[in-house]
Amino acid sequence: MIEVENLSKRFRQKWFKKFTAVDGISFRVNDGDVIGLLGPNGAGKTTIMRILSTVLTPTDGAARVGGYDTRKQAKQARGCLGILPEYWGLYERFTPREHLRMFGIFYGLGGPALERRIDELIALFEMQSYADRECKRFSKGMSQKVALARTLIHNPQHILLDEPTSGLDVMSARQVRGLIADSKKLGKCVIVSTHILSEAEKLCDRLILLDAGRVVAEGTPADLLTRTGKPNLEDAFLSLLGRTDVEVVS
């Protein structure tokens, strides 16, 4: 389970002005649930993901992953998290196999068990043909597969995916959606941050719509359509925001 309670994050900007990126947000994600964080740029999605992944500490409130407080028990929280940041960054001189081995060691894995897990993920993401090639000339789809496999190396119970299909081709994006669906079946707790509304509608049990660091609306896709009386999620999204100057991908 992932829990967020009255979470706020303020940054100090130039001339000592403060900017509030997240403002008193609360939500809970149960095991076996897939939750979508939606909102325009600057809504606070990535800041929430960074707090959950322990990269940032909250200014106020608390976030817990698997019962571990991300501020007070950061190491334990990281141990049960798989994180795919929006900008995942691969070591160009490493092969996919070397990436997976290195991250497995980071999570305390080793020996034959780690090698078996590496082979499983290489097969799962169909990377056999390039598993031992350097990543420096990989396409975005190939690189994304490596990053996703790296996210899952320690078989985490909680998974954070920030724009997981951004820029991917049709087949690679479909594979990612299949992975999310399979994770749900296995009882994993998944949070997906995305701009792609059709994807969120198909994959997510519940959607949390953010704007200016606050929760604007929360519910199932059907709930949001009923509440707004709109025929599709894009129109519902814009209606709930009360704006028309927002870029969305339907």
3-state secondary structure of 211: strand
- Amino acid of residue 58: P
Q: What is the pLDDT of residue 243?
A: 65
Q: Which of 43, 42, 39, 37 is nearest to 4 (CA)?
A: 37
Q: What is the pLDDT of residue 67?
A: 95
Q: What is the pLDDT of residue 245?
A: 56
Domain boundaries, the chain: 1-80+158-169+189-250, 87-155
Q: What is the pLDDT of residue 214?
A: 94
CATH 3.40.50.1400 applies to domain 1-80+158-169+189-250: no
Q: Which of 209, 213, 210, 160 is nearest to 8 (CA)?
A: 213
Q: What is the pLDDT of residue 161?
A: 94
Q: Which residues pair with 215 in a beta bridge?
A: 210
The predicted model scores a pTM of 0.90
Q: What is the pLDDT of residue 244?
A: 58
Q: Integer distance in angstroms from the first to the last C-alpha of the chain?
A: 29
Q: What is the pLDDT of residue 250?
A: 41
pLDDT in tens, the chain (250 residues): 999 999 999 998 766 678 899 999 999 999 999 999 998 888 899 999 999 999 999 999 999 999 999 999 999 999 999 999 877 789 999 999 999 999 999 999 999 999 999 999 999 889 999 999 999 989 888 998 999 999 999 999 999 999 888 777 788 888 888 889 999 999 999 999 987 888 888 889 999 999 999 999 999 999 999 999 998 888 898 899 886 555 554 4
CA 160/CA 65 separation, integer angstroms? 11
Q: Tell me the CA distances in angstroms from 96 to 55, 82, 154, one per residue in order.
A: 24, 17, 15
